[in-house]
Structure 1
């Protein structure tokens, strides 16, 4: 089972077969499309592009504390959705 802190990073690492990668990417895309545009931008900037909280804060004019809590909630939600899809 994947660690909560590293789930998205682990999923984006290219150590899967092409077929599994396609399925995971589709699953992540489906999950991310359920978020608002702002939330998608936040999670992608943080987890995929590697921006720091302070950089995202400046770009979106949002307090760092708000960003951290939103990222935490989204990570938890993504984990729960993936686990329910696996059952």
Structure 2
């Protein structure tokens, strides 16, 4: 079914392309959210990804997975935007209201200790701030592996790099992230 939709999309059938991407919208948004750090930018980057994908669908080669191709476009769109801005500003609201649970959900938990809630939110903010201090390449690999759970092979396909490079980049990125967090947390 998917290959038929891809073929029709390559021929310029907009309805087929729309059906094709429905399956991937949430994944594209999640990658964009993790890369950009806030809901509004994630929506914009998701939209930009779909526009670029539609314009480039004629160049899609059937030997690759459509999802891998689409996720690569998402990462590249986000990297381009980050480069344009030089700095991404996190939205506190987006930090508290994402797929991992909203502040409202945490507070409604009767067993939650207010001190633990505060500490958890502080740590989450520190991690997001530290992620934004990494280079785009480092952030991409950490987001894809540690936050979105992709395999080394999938990350290699998405970023178009060898698995060995994925592993070494992830190792260096995690080390850099740890150092940034240690500095941030020692300053508090």
| TM-score w.r.t. length of structure 1 | 0.72
Flag the 1:77–1:36 CA change in 2: closer, same or farther, 3 A.
Answer: closer
Alpha-carbon distance in 2 for matches of 1:79, 1:37: 17
1:86 equivalent in structure 2: 185
2: CA distance, partners of 1:86 / 1:32: 14
Map of 2:133 onto structure 1? 34
Structure 1 runs not aligned, ≥5 long: 1-11
Higher RCO (CA 8 Å, separation ≥ 6 residues): 1
Q: Which has the larger radius of gyration?
A: 2
CA distance in 1: counterparts of 2:135 and 2:180, whole angstroms: 16
CA drift at 1:42: 1.0
Cα distance in structure 2, aligned partners of 1:54 and 1:47: 14
Q: 1:10-65 deviations in whole A, cap 9, x for unaligned?
A: xx9xxx82211211111111111112333212101101111110000011111111
Distance in 1 separating the partners of 2:150 and 2:144: 5
Query: What's the TM-score, normalizing by structure 2?
Result: 0.36
Q: CA RMSD of the aligned region, Å?
A: 2.4
> For structure 2, which runs of at least 5 residues remain unmatched after alignment?
1-99, 101-114
